[in-house]
């Protein structure tokens, strides 16, 4: 087990920077998710770590070993890494047992050791009953567990996963998120996991690195990324926040829709303009004006949708600005009704850009 460190890593294709000056350290035994939309550079970063492509600049270290630099790049087979692809890449002519044991067979491990390791791994991944089946006889989730078992059995220093659950249906994908985390907690291999799915990242990761246009916008724990986004991109991508903008009144308040909106987060420069994020479920929807006026704005209900356990409102405030608000299902307010929005200061995050 070893840490993975990226030092000012870049990969350029002509004038295009697919990965642009990325620095990140993944500590021993942690699972980091590279999270972002298509084309943000997350898969290219993973392929650089794996050694499938060479960096244009910067370095990659695994423990105290330099594995990639513009001067020298170790080939993938010398990096002691296992990688799981979207397609699972199982051998169709081999049984589950043969697929899982394949890496040990290549290393010419003796049969008795292979048998012991195989039995333990099949038990851990709940695949004992499928040992003699072929991949074509398995469900998508079972095939994914075979791919995980095959990657783990060789005891890699680093485990790399490239959108491993994207081919599964929604229910199975949710189940496998917890399976990936369970196996990580058991083996504690240093893991880099690429996904565009926020729920997947929040469920599996110790650390999330949100990527945009080849750069890391913000890195932190799932709680930090969700509760304290630093940029407009992160706030919109994680949890789909409402974003409002206004002129700074002082170091902590923004003028918005006729009220002084007190915020936390970035320190404001008086006279400048700032974007502020607030989650839909953090806004209080009131049917009568409260006594306080700070962080309260009047609005009109434009539409509401019943979602079972909640109601999703679209409300409009002065200037035609629309905000989404999610409240308990029992709070039933008709379209066209006048309401007041309380935006709690502790949930209003001033953003840096």
Task: Write down the pLDDT at residue 98.
Answer: 92
The CATH number assigned to the domain holding 206 equals 3.40.50.300
pLDDT tens readout for residues 51-68: 999 999 999 999 989 999
Domain termination site, one of 232, 261, 288: 232
Confidence of residue 4 (pLDDT cuts 50, 70, 90): very high
Domain termination site, one of 179, 199, 232: 232
49, 106: one domain: yes
111, 226: one domain: yes
173, 262: one domain: no
- 191 CB-near residues (< 8 Å, 6+ apart): 26, 30, 31, 32, 158, 159, 160, 161, 184
Domain count, the chain: 2
pLDDT tens readout for residues 144-193: 889 888 988 988 989 999 988 887 777 778 888 888 898 889 889 999 99
Q: CA dihedral in degrees (234, 239, 245, 249; nearest 10)? A: -90
Task: Write down the pLDDT at residue 1.
Answer: 59
Sign of CA dihedral 147, 150, 153, 159: negative
**pLDDT of 295 over the 80 cut:** yes
Average pLDDT score over the chain: 91
125, 225: one domain: yes
Domain termination site, one of 199, 215, 232: 232
pLDDT tens readout for residues 101-143: 998 998 888 899 999 999 998 998 889 999 999 999 998 888 8
Q: State which residues form the domain around 343.
A: 239-350
187, 261: one domain: no
DSSP string, 81-129: EEEE-TT----TTS-HHHHHHHHHHHTT--HHHHHHHHHHHHHHTT-GG
178, 325: one domain: no
pLDDT tens readout for residues 253-287: 999 988 899 999 888 999 899 999 999 999 999 99
198, 275: one domain: no
The CATH number assigned to the domain holding 321 equals 2.40.50.140
Task: Write down the pLDDT at residue 176.
Answer: 84
Residue recorded with tokens 């990242």: 201
Q: Tell me which DSSP letter residue 332 carries.
A: -
Above pLDDT 90, what percent of the chain? Answer: 69
93, 15: one domain: yes
Task: Write down the pLDDT at residue 168.
Answer: 77
71, 169: one domain: yes
Residue recorded with tokens 């989650």: 279
Write down the pTM of the prediction. 0.85
**pLDDT of 336 over the 70 cut:** yes
Q: Using alpha carbons, select from 295, 257, 302 the residue that is nearest to residue 278.
A: 295
pLDDT tens readout for residues 196-243: 999 999 999 999 999 999 999 999 999 999 988 999 999 999 877 899
243, 117: one domain: no
175, 38: one domain: yes
Task: Write down the pLDDT at residue 353.
Answer: 61
The beta strand positions in 185-237, using DSSP E, are 190-195, 207-212, 215-220
Q: Using alpha carbons, select from 130, 149, 148 the residue that is nearest to residue 139.
A: 130
175, 290: one domain: no
């Amino acid at each position: 087990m070893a840490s993975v460190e990226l030092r000012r890593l870049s990969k350029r294709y002509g004038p295009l920077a697919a990965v642009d000056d990325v620095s990140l350290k993944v500590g021993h035994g942690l699972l980091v998710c590279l999270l972002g939309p298509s084309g943000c550079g997350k898969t290219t970063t993973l392929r650089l770590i794996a050694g499938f492509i060479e960096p244009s600049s910067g370095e990659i270290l695994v423990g105290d070993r330099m594995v990639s630099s513009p001067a020298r790049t170790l080939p993938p087979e010398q990096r002691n890494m296992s990688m799981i692809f979207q397609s699972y890449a199982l051998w169709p002519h081999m049984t589950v047992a043969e697929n899982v044991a394949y890496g040990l067979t290549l290393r010419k491990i003796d049969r008795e050791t292979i048998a012991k390791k195989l039995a333990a791994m099949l038990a851990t991944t709940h695949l004992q009953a499928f040992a003699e089946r072929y991949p074509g006889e398995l469900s998508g989730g079972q095939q994914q567990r075979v791919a995980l078992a095959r990657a783990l059995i060789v005891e890699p220093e680093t485990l790399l996963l490239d959108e491993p659950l994207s081919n599964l249906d929604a229910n199975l994908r949710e189940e496998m998120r917890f399976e990936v985390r369970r196996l990580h907690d058991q083996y504690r291999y240093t893991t880099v996991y690429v996904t565009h799915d926020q729920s997947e990242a929040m469920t599996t990761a110790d650390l999330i690195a949100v990527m945009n246009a080849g750069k890391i916008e913000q890195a932190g724990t799932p709680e930090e990324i969700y509760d304290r986004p630093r940029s407009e991109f992160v706030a919109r991508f994680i949890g789909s926040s409402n974003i409002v903008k206004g002129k700074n009144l002082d170091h902590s308040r923004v003028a918005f829709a006729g009220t002084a909106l007190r915020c936390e987060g970035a320190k404001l420069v008086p006279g400048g303009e700032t974007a502020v994020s607030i989650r839909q479920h953090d806004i209080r929807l009131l049917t009568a004006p409260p006594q306080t006026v700070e962080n309260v704005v009047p609005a009109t209900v434009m539409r509401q949708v019943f979602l079972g356990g909640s109601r999703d409102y679209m409300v409009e405030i002065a200037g035609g600005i629309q905000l989404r608000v999610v409240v308990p299902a029992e709070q039933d307010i008709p379209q066209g009704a006048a309401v007041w929005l309380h935006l709690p200061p502790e949930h209003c995050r001033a953003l840096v850009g």
